[in-house]
Amino acid sequence: MSKKETQKTGRVLLLPIESIEPSPYQARTAFDEPEIAALAVSILQNGLLQPISVRRVGLRKYQLVAGERRLRACRLAKLEKIPAILADYDDTQSAALGLLENLQRSQLDPFDTARGIKEVIRLWGCTQAEAARRLGLSQPALANKLRLLTLTPEQQDLCTANHLSERHARAVLRLPEGRRTAALEKIARDNLSVRQADKLVDSMLAAPKGPSPCRKTIPMVRDVRFFVNTLQHAVDLMTQKGIAATTSCDKKDGCLEYIVRIPVGNDGRVTAPTATPAAPAAAAVSPVPAAEETALPAAADVEDFTVQLL
């Protein structure tokens, strides 16, 4: 840099707007377009009240240090030149100053802030404690902001899309990762306050682990012998009570047929063991159509069949 250029450092220059490129260290990822449009109208009516800050990156080329919104608004207003303060900053200083401007103006969402802090710590090569001191934050506050990045990108987008605050996001960090999305969705859907969000997380942490007691899981029994044994047990109980029930079991056409015969009288009641049985009524286990066989998968060592009680 020449002596003449050095003397210009810190002065306000009127630079061609096309000669200024955006900062590669811009922490902010989302911009309010209606807000920038309103700023453009104000600039057209009143001029740019606060110059942007730039640094030289080549012959008649500059890189933005601070003032992304103002630069965008001036471009939207079709200005050809823009007032800018020429600064002599290296990459580390440029990244830090861009972040500080946004922090001081509270223009970043919590996740942009956390990503910006992480980036300047990387550029500075310092500890969190040193970064907190240089950024004017307490160490716990800085650590809390960085913890937000443990949320998944999808969870971060959910917070941003529903305008959830940093404290809302921090509340769900107490939950296991797999339960955070459900909590964030409920917070957003019910428009919960931070206090209500904390209570929701408390209740989720206090709830017993495992399936809800309102839901009952019915296991699938893959061995049909379980059902055959159940039928046989019922017949055994009848014979123990003096009912002369008989059974027969046969395999045919890939199915199991299980027949239970119970002697009954003309009145439909079960006859005594010594009585001559009237026309017996039959309860049969017979094949069902093949299309229904998938309802009950058989064990690996048993033929495919389905049991149906007639």
Rounded Cα distance, 197 and 208, in Å: 19
Q: How far apart are the C-alpha atoms of 85 and 64, rounded to whole Å? A: 10
Output the CA torsion 292→295→296→298 (10° steps). Answer: 70
Given the residues 18, 35, 68, 177, select the one marked as catalytic: 68
Distance CA 28, CA 20 (A): 18
CB 254 within 8 A of CB 305: yes
Task: Report the half-sphere exposure of 96 (CA within 13 A, side-chain side).
Answer: 18
Residue 303 is a catalytic residue? no
Q: Give 216-276 as a DSSP string.
A: ---PPP--THHHHHHHHHHHHHHHHTT---EEEEEEETTEEEEEEEE-B-TTSSBPPTTSP
How does DSSP classify residue 118?
H
Inter-axis angle of helices 177-189 and 194-206, nearest 10? 140
How many other CB atoms are there within 10 angstroms of residue 67's CB atom? Answer: 23
Q: What is the dihedral of CA 131, 135, 137, 141, to 10 degrees?
A: -60
| Catalytic residue set | 68
